[in-house]
């Protein structure tokens, strides 16, 4: 019963198989190999974006930091939420890669609203040499609390950005989980909704470590290549990134895995609704659940060896009688039986 994170589970056998198959003979290094080319072509096809610039990197933070550095000038501010991974969990990689950009926090939680974005943008009036200059908006889809922006929510936000002529980046560490939640196409969730650049996560959804970065306007392609190399993120044996991503997309593995994870989370959420005094901190929509359970339930789960994150941040009051906030994440590999057992124990 490991619900700690979708980065703690194993890679999918199909990905491992592809890795083994890629390991034959010589291949051009640094992305010149066939697997990488095929993976990038496949991404362009999946996104109905034949002109898009597509690049692979090995970590989600690299994807975010390199993409934002390409979109933001060092004297600009990125607009994101206070719970954005780029703000809370990347040890200032975005600040490092951008050369000192600022992150302006919009809103109060994981999900940006048009009002919050408007207010944040208004805080930095244009043309003022003393102020931070307006830079890209960064949205996380699935959000850090497991919620999903609906397509019209995305369009409302990207419309505001477009009115201010600032680009929008989507941190898609859990892109496929969002796709499944919305049951839409990659194009609908990105460029058709006004997104300028996106990362497409593989690592949390069955790969060992690979993410794609896509710019729908390919103009920054060469700059990104240089930034990736300068950031030491260009792999010499690049075929192993390409092979992962190709297997991930082939036969729809990315969506299959995401669907499996989402369904387990839905089953888990449904089960937890039956726990007395349980409460959700955000309505579960993808593969993550943020909830409060009574202390006794935690104790039973702990005794049974269940693993999950206890939220130490402002979600918990510190009052020892308070139900504790927890984060439960389902990856592609977790079994229904584990979910059911978790629920059973939680219910007591």
Tokens 């449904």 belong to residue = 270
Query: What does the H/E/C string look like for 130-145?
Result: CCCEEEEEEEECCCCC
How many Å apart are CA 63 and CA 172, to the nearest integer? 9
Q: Which is nearer to a second copy, 188 or 338 (CB)?
A: 338
DSSP β-bridge partners for residue 53: 215
Min CB(115)–a second copy separation in Å = 14
Min CB(323)–a second copy separation in Å = 21
Contact between 203 and a second copy per CB under 8 A: yes
Per CB under 8 A, the list member of 14, 132, 263, 341 interacting with a second copy is: 132
Per CB under 8 A, the list member of 41, 51, 100, 299 interacting with a second copy is: 100
Per CB under 8 A, the list member of 45, 108, 131, 279 interacting with a second copy is: 131
Min CB(93)–a second copy separation in Å = 5
Contact between 5 and a second copy per CB under 8 A: yes
Residues 29-68 that bind a second copy (CB under 8 A): 29-30, 57-62, 64-66
Residue 76, judged by CB atoms within 10 A of its CB (0-12, 13-18, 19+), counts as buried
Candidates 14-22, 138-146, 149-157, 320-328 — which segment interacts with a second copy by CB under 8 A? 14-22
Contact between 280 and a second copy per CB under 8 A: no
Residue 164, judged by CB atoms within 10 A of its CB (0-12, 13-18, 19+), counts as middle
Q: Which is nearer to a second copy, 63 or 343 (CB)?
A: 63
Per CB under 8 A, the list member of 46, 49, 90, 178 interacting with a second copy is: 90
Contact between 316 and a second copy per CB under 8 A: no
Per CB under 8 A, the list member of 45, 108, 226, 296 interacting with a second copy is: 226
Min CB(241)–a second copy separation in Å = 9
Min CB(132)–a second copy separation in Å = 6
Contact between 336 and a second copy per CB under 8 A: no
Are the CB atoms for 177 and 205 separated by under 8 Å? Answer: yes
Q: Assign 2 to helix, strand or coil.
A: strand
Q: What is the DSSP string of 222-247?
A: HHHHHHHHHTT---TTTHHHHHHHHH
Q: Report CA dihedral (4, 111, 68, 103) to the nearest 10 degrees.
A: -100
Per CB under 8 A, the list member of 27, 78, 246, 268 interacting with a second copy is: 27
> For the chain, how big is the Rg over CA atoms in Å?
20
Tokens of 11: 């890679």
Contacts of 322 (CB under 8 A, 6+ apart): 292, 316
Contact between 219 and a second copy per CB under 8 A: no
Contact between 129 and a second copy per CB under 8 A: yes
How many Å apart are CA 285 and CA 304, to the nearest integer? 27
Contact between 236 and a second copy per CB under 8 A: yes
How many Å apart are CA 221 and CA 249, to the nearest integer? 22
Q: Assign 118 to helix, strand or coil.
A: helix
Candidates 143-151, 231-239, 264-272, 280-288 — which segment interacts with a second copy by CB under 8 A? 231-239
Are the CB atoms for 254 and 247 separated by under 8 Å? Answer: no
Contact between 216 and a second copy per CB under 8 A: no
Contact between 91 and a second copy per CB under 8 A: yes
Total number of residues shown for the chain:
348
Per CB under 8 A, the list member of 142, 189, 234, 345 interacting with a second copy is: 234
Contact between 102 and a second copy per CB under 8 A: yes
Please count the residues of this chain forming the interface with a second copy, following the rule CB under 8 A. 75
């Amino acid at each position: 019963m490991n619900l700690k994170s979708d980065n703690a589970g194993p890679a999918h056998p199909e990905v491992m198989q592809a890795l083994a198959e890629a390991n034959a003979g010589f291949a051009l290094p640094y992305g010149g190999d066939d697997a990488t080319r095929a993976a990038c072509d496949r991404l362009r096809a999946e996104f109905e974006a034949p002109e898009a610039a597509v690049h692979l990197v090995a970590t989600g933070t690299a994807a975010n930091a390199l993409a934002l550095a390409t979109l933001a000038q060092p004297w600009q501010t990125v607009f994101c939420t206070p719970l954005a991974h780029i703000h809370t969990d990347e040890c200032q990689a975005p600040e490092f890669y951008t050369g000192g950009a600022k992150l302006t926090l919009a809103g109060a939680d994981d999900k940006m609203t048009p009002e919050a974005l408007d207010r944040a943008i208004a805080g930095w009036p244009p043309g003022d040499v003393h102020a931070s200059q307006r830079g890209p908006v960064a949205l996380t889809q699935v959000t850090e609390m497991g919620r999903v922006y609906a397509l019209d929510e995305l369009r409302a936000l990207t419309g505001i950005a477009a009115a201010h002529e600032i680009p929008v980046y989507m941190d898609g560490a859990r892109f496929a989980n969002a796709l499944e939640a919305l049951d839409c196409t990659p194009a609908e969730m990105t460029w058709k909704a006004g997104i300028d650049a996106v990362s497409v996560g593989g690592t949390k959804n069955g790969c060992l470590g690979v993410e794609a970065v896509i710019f729908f306007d390919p103009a920054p392609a060469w700059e990104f290549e240089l930034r990736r190399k300068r950031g030491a993120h260009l792999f010499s044996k690049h075929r192993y990134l390409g092979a992962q991503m190709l297997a991930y997309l082939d036969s729809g593995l990315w969506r299959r895995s995401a669907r499996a994870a989402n369904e387990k989370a839905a089953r888990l959420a449904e089960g937890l609704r039956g726990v007395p005094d349980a409460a959700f901190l955000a309505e579960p929509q993808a593969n993550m659940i943020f909830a409060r359970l009574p202390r006794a339930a935690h104790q039973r789960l702990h005794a049974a060896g269940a693993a999950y994150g206890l939220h130490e941040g402002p979600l918990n009051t510190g009052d020892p009688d308070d139900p504790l906030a927890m984060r439960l994440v389902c990856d592609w590999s977790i079994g229904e039986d584990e979910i059911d057992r978790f629920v059973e124990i939680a219910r007591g």
